[in-house]
Amino acid sequence: MSKISFFSSLFLVSVSCNVVLAQKSQLQIARNSVGKLQVAINAKQDAKKQLTVLGEGIKAAEAAQNDKKTKRWPETWALKAYLASYVSIIDTDEGNADKYYSLALQAIDSANRLDKFQANYRLIAASSYNVNIRKQRKGSSAYSKGDYAAAFDLLKEVSDFLPKDTSLAINAALAAQNIQAYDKALVYFKRAKENGIKNPVVFQNMANIYSSKFEHDLAIKTLEDGIKVNPYNVFLTNDYINLLLDNEKYTEALKVIESTIKVESNNKLLYFLYGYLQQHKANNSTAELAYNKALGIDENYFDALYQLGLVYISSANESLKSGSSQNAPKFSSYINRAEIALLQAHEINQNDKATVQLLIDIYTRKQRLDKVQELKSKLEEF
């Protein structure tokens, strides 16, 4: 009995050692797969060959994962995470790529929990990089399909992983903007801005969000920052001027327009706005010149024609204030010019009620009752 017991003990010890060695050899296979993968990449072998190497490695890592001892080793999970994450970015079968993406996420989580001394940080970092590539692709796909909520959830994680990447930050911000998560959009637009982005659209979108939150000073400051890195950008400048006007900062707006016109001498909108501000200050003659400059660039510019008509009406009214009969020709001249400008405006936009009403007032003064009746009939049709 003692002999049987002795040899049974030897057999059990032998089997136990073989199991441990077997699991260690499985880890070695997984390690070797990482090296083989690098060789395959350097040799520019196709994805099919790379996937064969990866499959062997993952199979070995999963065998080690199922052993009571080696499943507690962080290296087991770090190797599986790396190999699975690489499959997720090179496998063209989306279903299979997603499967290994999920496996990689689980393995990264296990590796991080077990790797208290960060002995496998390189493998874990590489795995995280790979799964974020996959996340970016999934996020971009969701965005293109109009699933902006899913796109934001994915893209913000990728941006948080690579915070210096301005393109990622912008894409996350745009996804947030599409689901009306404006505060979150600002976080990622700011990140792009702080990392040196110059794209005017970023500054425009940020300013629009601030304006919607009634934070007008921040909106103005944002556009100023945008103009600093995009001098005389027409879209930023126009937004900036309009924002100044909306907030009744007329003096500041006038200065911006005056300096910009020197560079953008063929910009009809700038001349129009300059005329509008001069008209606001009752400088009718300067406003007239500005509107005519705008019309010199575009003779069918409705807004300039309409405002020019108002300038002439205002000048006509001013000429009557002195009460002198000598001013009658001036009055007639201004009224005639107003009529011409407003008729041209009416021809361009026949459904504009304000233009029609001004023409009715002019023809009433001229006692052209036939025209008055004709235009009143038009107003009733609107």
pLDDT tens digits along 121-171: 999 999 999 999 999 999 999 999 999 999 999 999 999 999 999 999 999
The confidence score (pLDDT) of residue 380 equals 82
pLDDT score recorded for residue 136: 98
Distance CA 97, CA 84 (A): 9
- Residue 234: predicted pLDDT: 87
Q: Where in the chain is the domain with CATH 1.25.40?
A: 9-145
What's the rounded Cα separation, in Å, for the pair 352 and 144?
40
pLDDT for res 24: 63
* Mean local confidence (pLDDT), 210-220: 97
Query: What is the residue-averaged pLDDT of the chain?
Result: 92
Q: Is the pLDDT of residue 245 over 50?
A: yes
Query: 264 or 5, which is more confident?
Result: 264
pLDDT of residue 324: 62
Q: Is the pLDDT of residue 1 over 60?
A: no
Q: Are 142 and 151 in contact (CB under 8 A)?
A: yes
What's the residue count for the chain? 382
Q: What is the pLDDT of residues 218-229, one digit of tens each?
A: 999 999 999 999
Specify the pTM.
0.81
- What pLDDT digit, counting tens, does each position of 89-116 carry? 999 999 999 999 999 999 999 999 999 9
Phi and psi based region of residue 118 (left: phi greater than 0; alpha: psi -120 to 50; beta: remaining): left
Over residues 44-59, the mean pLDDT reads: 96
Which fold does the domain 9-145 belong to in CATH?
A: 1.25.40
- What pLDDT, on the 0 to 100 scale, is given for residue 13? 39
- Got the DSSP string for 66-130? TSTTGGG-HHHHHHHHHHHHHHHHH-S-HHHHHHHHHHHHHHHHHHHHH-TT-TTHHHHHHHHHH
Percent of the chain with pLDDT over 90: 87
Instruction: Yes or no: say if 72 and 117 are a contact pair by the CB < 8 Å rule.
Output: no
Residues of the chain with CATH 1.20.58: 297-382
Checking if the pLDDT of 314 tops 80, the result is yes
- pLDDT score of 247: 95
Q: How far apart are CA 79 and CA 131, in angstroms?
A: 14
Both tokens of 208, joined, read 């629009």
CA angle, corner 98, sides to 53 and 112, nearest 5? 75
Q: How many CB atoms are located within 10 Å of the residue 31 CB? A: 16
Answer yes or no: are the C-beta atoms of 64 and 30 closer than 8 Å: yes
* Beta carbons within 8 Å of 357's beta carbon, 6+ residues apart: 379
Query: Looking at the domain 297-382, which fold is it?
Result: Methane Monooxygenase Hydroxylase; Chain G, domain 1 (1.20.58)
pLDDT band at 21 (very low <50, low <70, confident <90, very high): very low
